[in-house]
Chain A
Amino acid sequence: MVRSINEAVLRLSPIAIVLVVWQAAASFHWVDTAFLPAPAAVARALGDLLSGHEIRDNLFVTLFRALAGLFLATLSGVWFGIGMARSWVFNAIVSPVVGATYSLPKTAIVPLLILWVGIGNAMGILAVYLTCLLPIIVQTYHGVCATPAVAVWSAQSLGADRRKILWQIFLPYALPDIFTGVRIALGFSFVVAISAEMIASTTGIGRLIFMYGENGSYDYMFAAVASVVIAAFLADRALLYVSARCLRWHESHAASEIGAFG
């Protein structure tokens, strides 16, 4: 009990220190508050924004784009990864494309996507989808390849056919890696959804941040950023919770990741 209270204090301390230094910097005029508004001013702006529709509506638009893209990328990325791991023909065709586009910043092709699908939800979702696809493919591929032959042989000797092996052996074995891929992709999904909105969009929290920045309303801009930070944090928590539930059987569960990286 004492330890958990101490731990909670320790975990909150860096955030508290940043806020105190930040507030002090503003209060003692170490910096120009026109460019770095005080946390108190940001909190006021956040309160103001939350009482209206502006943040909520735009945040939901961004969340929708980020999560829809992530969801579609998970569905197809897992199949690409399994296909690459299980078929050398498929791997020979797909892996050069994956290799060539893996480190490409997907925001660089946003102008191209605008040309193809226009601005709006489709463009945002597509940009997020393309970004999230690659880490999920790579992690799934790794998980399937790392499945021990003895596990597959055991299942075969108990009567599992190819289909059953895929669903009941390779997929569960790859599940911890798939969750790792989805968690990496979740981080990217917010980055890309917001960047795409900053490049070209009429809605979304990215456009809102950009607009406040252009207007010089930095307290409101910080408030919008804070709302994204909170939403992204909660989304990551939710994913960790789901993965911990699904991976109760896994070795990592004993050294619960929530404790290690929470």
Chain B
Amino acid sequence: MTSKITVRAVSKTYNSDAGEVLALQGTDLEVKQGEFVSLVGPSGCGKSTLLYIVGGFLAANGTVLIDDKIVDGPGVDRGIVFQEYALFPWLTVRRNILYGPRLQNLPAKQCDEIANRLIDVIGLRNFENRYPRELSGGMKQRVAIARMLAGDPTILLLDEPFGALDALTRETMQDELLRIWLEMRKTVLMVTHDVNEAVYLSNRICVMSARPGRIVEEFPVNLDRNGTREAIVLSDEYNRVRNKVWLAVRQQAATQTTRA
């Protein structure tokens, strides 16, 4: 089976006031169709940068392929959700969700269907005509997810999607994302600093080194995701993988401290 996402020898240099900063060096990554892959690593290791390069938002040296085609910019095949929601504040919930479908000039009837379906999926039926400033953080993130799904991308790029939410809301949102993924089987690449979240959601976890970042270790996760949260989190496999990933991230963070 060919890869959905291929990242080959990707490097990225930023210009900052303190001179050039090497954010990524020789990064390789393959993600298969329908796979849920998480990127974890010490803060500042360039995991978000890698996600933005796959999204086509940042240019970099090296090769990025989606379905064996070279990425040279953003595309509707890759939807994205950011930690800071990035909703359009002048549009209501409904019109935020319909931003993509309207750009594609879908007929009004089809737009209505998409909006109604996704508003039900995220459970914001009574809030569809509110502006983002009237919503809580969790609601905003639901809208951001719905807006991404309305574009019907084949790949979901998630940039610390639940990082700004409180612990309880975060778990609810993780369950919703898991349900959506199990239903739609889209390819997902998620950046997170939460090891538990990565294990709970992904098929595979890639641990990145401290800056300049590259993927140094990979952990497959074989969990039956159809069980309850309690069953998954209390299972031996979950805890075994979680401990291994946690140790790996700590080691990378320690390397960073020693080097600094």
Enumerate chain A interface residues (CB-CB to B < 8 A): 148-151, 153-160, 164, 169, 172, 175, 248-251, 253-254
Contact = CB atoms under 8 A, between A and B. Distances in A.
Interface of B: 52, 55-57, 73-76, 78-80, 82, 84, 86, 88-91, 99-100, 103-104, 131-133, 144, 147-148, 151, 153, 157
Contacts of A158: 76, 79, 99-100, 103, 147, 151
Contacts of B132: 249
A154 B147 contact: yes
A72 to B, nearest CB: 26
A249 B133 contact: yes
Given A148-B84, A154-B86, A159 B103 contact: yes
Given A154-B147, A157-B74, A158-B103, A249 B82 contact: no
A153 B133 contact: no
A159 B76 contact: yes
A153 B147 CA distance: 13
Given A251-B133, A254-B133, A157 B90 contact: no
A159 B131 contact: no
Contacts of A253: 133
Contact of B84 (A150, A164, A172, A250): A150
Contacts of B55: 153, 157
Contact of B99 (A149, A155, A248, A249): A155
Contacts of B73: 156
Contacts of A160: 103
Nearest to A160: B103
Nearest to B159: A150
Contact of A249 (B86, B90, B100, B148): B90
A159 B151 contact: yes
B241 to A, nearest CB: 31
A154 B147 CA distance: 9
23 contacts: A148-B86, A153-B52, A154-B88, A155-B88, A157-B74, A157-B75, A157-B76, A157-B79, A157-B151, A157-B153, A157-B157, A158-B79, A158-B147, A159-B76, A159-B104, A159-B151, A172-B90, A249-B89, A249-B90, A249-B132, A250-B90, A253-B133, A254-B133
